[in-house]
Structure 1
């Protein structure tokens, strides 16, 4: 079992995400005394008799004033069994881009719903985004169960509806767990509630501590986007030439043969330097400087990879994008694509399919993609770039679409991720007749 779990929370506005996270931090004694004192003071200023635990997460002044979460709030806590990195993402539709950011590295997603409202549009949208990003496991926290008198029938109905939606997106039933909770009162968050005797599953924390976690990408093929070329040209190091960056995937060792892409140059790793001294090897997530046997023409934006397992170098590829801009995407749009440390000019040559995450249906050849819509597109870049399928490598299979005019982020893209066609749900052409569904899945979340 991994000793670190990366998770992201998502849900609609006022479902209680921040309160749930605050409850986790509070009940696991992961809050500093001065922070807790500040929360007590802020709660008293609002006329509350008990601390508002959501204030432990909502750090922006505008969030505290409005009682909402806008930014992605990252929190770190630990229990004797496991350490956690938690991303609390916004609930508002216009901040779906932040949900994409928070979930992009998550190994588990915690989706909240209000027990009084059940599964709603934003719940289905967030589930689709988590599936699209390849988050392998989901927890549905049916919050505010106290406000429906801890009713088992209500919980069962919501759990059944959500499980059906999640499995239609490609999740296995054992990858989805439903838990009735009250974040405000603490029922089934850290401590088991006596008010839900009909529930015999784990508390949220018990599940987080025990859920199987796929290992980080240490065993994936080696990928290293070059961020900076170091050439000090000092008397002590007149010939030093190193390539600095963060290992995106896999492991590299001194003596390994590597390829430099997109040029296709080859060399051997002769050294791995860090601020703390040289290393014999480096793995995913480590920031290092690589030394090579040959003096090659390498610059920022190049990708150093395992020589025996290289990504595809291409100037044309298909991808699934989550459109994050109020300015609609239309065929022929000229944009910038940021992949790793390289940014290139590109054209979205075709909109292949638009996916309706509410109906789990797709529309062929849509005329546009609007804010928060998901679709499959064809992209042509001005120069070749080395890409992996997202299913193979989440880091080198992902990219950003950027507005060349103002530098704003337009979309998050995943190379090669097909959209789903769900059995029993027809796809159709824009304004045309229904077409036969096929069995493509949005992702393969895996076990």
Structure 2
């Protein structure tokens, strides 16, 4: 279990003994020590040191006895001591073995006898952190819809790179599979707790909902790619080969797991998360290069980038906020994958904002000036022509045919008029 405390605050937890063990002849003695990680350390029953630095137990009592005399349960009062916040685990260790009535000895399993204690500086920081968490969750969830609306409004997906879409759907399907398996598949969860006996399941319900929603929104974009004007865009051979390798690996590993014990089910689930991390690293590159080739961001929704940037920035802000509240700065480096990927996503967002507002800020004006070029009988530059849908080009071409002759006659007549002295 976990416990949240503020400095100098105290809370009570209950330690229970299994009823089957409580019926024996001898009570069970348990000693609590403080440890800093889920890996634990070698317990020395002869040591009198508790190892507790940021917390203590009431009356400095760390040894407890459970049995029929006390109803097989004891109340443990945890106090946040000192002036420094932090995180520690209060871990129970059984002293020796215990004889049952039939004379057999049994070792009591105490793997669940622990409390993860977080001592924070301020409850206000926790409230702000929760609000920030919901804001960035909303920003990331909504970030898919500006691109969907942009495609719908233009009836075109020209300008949206198909490699980005293909990588995205594989990434979010993998992310969803990882979340669902670790959260709802009992065998996977049991294996996780076997490897990490004093850890909490890292997957929350909002992680599952976000992954499924993201995959659904990306599928909507894929449908738009089939029904709307897409020009000559296709998925590149690099992405096709990469995705073929990924999905083939999923199938092969699933078959291996079915017929052997070479790879555990939890390891297979971790593979889904590794693929998601790899895709997050590379998925923005094709779109950025595509914008560079076209010298335009037309068709690539900047609203998506603003929301993604907002979500990423707030996510990192929350990490620093919690690190400060619990004086737990090493956590950021220990979870460098999450921190690093968040930072990379923000850097890509900044790059796209620079493309849109600095490097190719006139691409929208070029887009609107194309009708003027056509109506005067001119020719589109190729890079601008790809920004329009087929329907838009046909309308502008018809308008150009109608306007070209009268415009030419008016220009010639003006040229023949006598000039004033």
TM-score after normalising by structure 2: 0.23
**TM-score, normalised relative to structure 1:** 0.22
Q: Which has the higher contact order (CA 8 A, sep 6+)?
A: 2
Greater fraction of residues in helix: 2
